[in-house]
Every structure is written in C-alpha cells, then in structure tokens.
Structure 1
C-alpha cells in the first residue's frame, strides 16, 4: 500500500504557505518506509494518489511538488499521465522536482529540452531538486535554466556528505544563479532557528524543513 506524506513549503517574508512536497511512502510490516524502488511503483497509482491529495488541498495551496527521476521525467507514457493529472487538479499547479539520480539511458540535449517544453505547454512546472549534489551540478544543468521554474538547494545533503563548510559559498552561488535567471529558489533541510536566521541574512524567501513542518501522512 502506498500513500503520500506531505511537507509544507513556506514563503518566510509573506508568512504564507506556498505548497506541499508530496513524499510517497510504502506500508510494510506495520511501518511506513521509503519505497525500495521508486520506478517499480505503478505510474497510475502515483497519479491517482496525487489527484486525491491535491484536490483536497486545493483551497489551501497553489502548488504541489512531485518527485521524478530523470528517467521518469523522460518517459513519454508518464508524461501523458502527469499532463492528465494537471488537468484534474487545476487550479493547483503541479511542479515536478527532478532529483539528482543519474540517467540510466542516453538522451540528447534536444530530447530533454523537447520534454521541458512539452510539460510547460501543458501548465506543468519543472524544478531541479538537490542542486549542487549528485548529477544536478551547475555544469550539468546550466543549459536547462531558461526552461525551468525553479531550483531546490538541499542543506541536508551537504551535511550528510560532510560538506557543511561549503554551504555558505554554494548557496550564495545558487541564489545568484536563480536571481539572474529569474527562477525560484527553495532551500530545504531547514532544521532550526539558526538555519532560519542564516537564510534571513541571505534574503532567501522560500523554505522547507523540520523547522517549518515535518512530513506527515495525508489521510
């Protein structure tokens, strides 16, 4: 059995709830856990759960953020399902987060841009998740910046990799990239008041993490 947990994303300076990230979990042996293989989850199951949650939240939020691997993003069958999903959850907007897992199949730059445009033409927004880690480095994603809606910077990934000392420099760089390209920047992994103050100093509005709300099961 699969269900979505939801975690809020806030605009600190407006004091407003922007949307929720949808985090799929699997119920096994009496506990909710991360699925061992996301690609094994039936696409239609993910879509139906997403529609159910988004429709019930539609009076509260403008966006739902939904994770895909690069391979799932480039899957034309999945794209058609998600376009149909966007129509069903309107006026809520679906924002796809492409995570930093490596692509297992070779795709050309032109094919990727074509897929960006296809989603955008149908009202689905694209965000690149976990920038600065995995394969979502500036070198790899720079050519995609004119086609996307936003970036997400993961404080938790830098900490897990022992790269805390790089956070200030890296985050300042990604903020400049976002500002220059007129795209949004969400900082995730905001755990405490110290993190919150640090982001105040950098004048970054959009935030996500335990300091603002832990993921919770949406019943």
Structure 2
C-alpha cells in the first residue's frame, strides 16, 4: 500500500471559527494527489487485497491517533466493506480509539451490490441492521455521507436512524444534478429538518465561498466543511 497516503480536511463550527474534527481522505502519491477511485474499487472487491489495505490503514490510524489524542476523525467505508469479516476485526482492533472515530458510510454502492453474495431485500436489511448494531456496540459514532444520493436515500436513512449520530449533505453533489438554487435550498432545508427531528448532527460539505457559509449559518447550519475552510492536506492542526 506504499502508493497511498492520508490527507485531512477540517470540519468547522462557524459559530466561533473552530475546527471540530477532520475527515480522513485517501490519496495517491502523485504530484497532484487525488482519490485513487479505480484502485480502491479493485481493492474493495478483492477480499485479500482489502484485508491487506485494512492492515496498512490500521497502522496509519494508530500512529495518527496517538499523535493527536484529542482530535476526532471521520473515516469512510463503502457499504460493501461492511460485509467483510476483516472489517469488523479492524473495528475491534481499533475499539480503544472508538471515541476519536466517526464511521462514515458512503453512498457509492447500489443496495444489493453492497453484499458479497446475492441476497433478498429482507435478508439484506436484517444483515445491515446487525452490522450497524455491532459498530455502535463497539462505541463508534456512525454518519451517513451524502444523504439523498446513491444508497443513502431517504428510505434507507429512515431504516437505520436508530444507529445514526450524524448525516452529511453535499451541496456540490446536488449542484451537479442541475437543480436550480431554490430547489437546492428546499432539499437542503428538508434534510436539516430531518436531522433536527431525529436529533442527528448535520454537516454540510462542499462550501466553497464565504457567502454560502454565511447563508447556511443564518439557517442554523453551523458545522460546515469544504474548500473554503481548507482543501485536503497532509498536515493537521489540533482542534481548539
């Protein structure tokens, strides 16, 4: 896994311009690093390569968490990864750091593509409930990434609300769907109200300018993430 490195993007509380944590993002080691999507897709679909990746990832994380014991980090897992036993061994091995970690479940897998073997919807739901319950029992927080997209539709979010601590909404991903500004804000407001109704943390990412940040702050959306606050970087500052 020598071709990978970890980058970090800050999450800001705009009430006091304070960093409240970082999302850990995987990057390659090219001059202009980017997420190695094809490589990771191959790793995720190969059990042995995925096992090796988790060993590397665990070593990197332990070193990081020991260096920054008061900082909270989010780490991303695709749904398919949750069906590998090795992933839950990883969660067990990292359990002593659970309070520092938020497990973000990405939206990038269709419902049934997530499982290792073909299963019906009822069996899938039972299995996923069991997976989420196991992660929660180990003391981790769980977040759903990019709600309203891919696997993380409203129907799916509702199924797993009892296990969730946070949901994240991406302005950038919605903008790419060619929504007009009014529709985008209605969609955003709906998810904000959803998070408040179910007592979930709500993070909006994709903030690229002060005007957008200020507008969201006026709406009561206080935890924000995006290039306006900082691009993914190899270095971090301690949260204050």
TM-score, length basis structure 1: 0.90
- 1:164, distance to aligned residue in structure 2 (A): 4.4
- 1:146, distance to aligned residue in structure 2 (A): 1.5
Structure 1: 5+ residue runs without aligned partners? none
Residue in 2 that maps onto 1:179:
196
Matched, 1:96 2:113: no
- 1:37, distance to aligned residue in structure 2 (A): 2.9
Partner-residue secondary structure (3-state), 1:216? coil
The structure richer in strand per residue is 1
Report matched runs for 1:53-132 at 5 Å: 53-59=64-70, 61=71, 63-87=72-96, 89=97, 92-102=99-109, 103=111, 104=113, 105=115, 106=119, 108-132=124-148
Report matched runs for 1:8-23 at 5 Å: 8-23=10-25
Partner-residue secondary structure (3-state), 2:212? helix
Residue in 2 that maps onto 1:143:
159
Partner-residue secondary structure (3-state), 1:37? helix
- 1:133, distance to aligned residue in structure 2 (A): 1.4
Deviations 1:137-189 (A, max 9, x none): 10222111111111000011012222243320111111111111111000000
Matched, 1:2 2:4: yes
- 1:124, distance to aligned residue in structure 2 (A): 1.1
Larger radius of gyration: 2
Q: Structure 1 segments of 4 or more deviating over 3 A? A: none
Q: Contact (CA 8 Å) 1:21, 1:64: kept in 2 or not?
A: yes
- 1:126, distance to aligned residue in structure 2 (A): 0.8
- 1:31, distance to aligned residue in structure 2 (A): 4.5
Residue in 2 that maps onto 1:48:
59
Residue in 2 that maps onto 1:34:
35
- 1:82, distance to aligned residue in structure 2 (A): 2.4
The structure richer in helix per residue is 2
Q: Separation in 1 of the partners of 2:92 and 2:164?
A: 16
Call closer, same or farther: CA 1:182–1:6 in 2, change over 3 Å. Answer: same
Q: Separation in 1 of the partners of 2:180 and 2:22?
A: 26
Q: Separation in 2 of the partners of 1:161 and 1:8?
A: 25
Q: Separation in 1 of the partners of 2:200 and 2:82?
A: 20
Partner-residue secondary structure (3-state), 1:33? coil
Deviations 1:37-93 (A, max 9, x none): 32515111122222222222224x2x2100110111232211221231231x36x52
Provide the aligned length of Structure 1 versus Structure 2. Answer: 214
Q: Contact (CA 8 Å) 1:69, 1:100: kept in 2 or not?
A: yes
Q: Contact (CA 8 Å) 1:100, 1:133: kept in 2 or not?
A: yes
Cα RMSD of the aligned pairs, angstroms, is: 1.9
Structure 2: 5+ residue runs without aligned partners? 44-49
Call closer, same or farther: CA 1:14–1:138 in 2, change over 3 Å. Answer: same
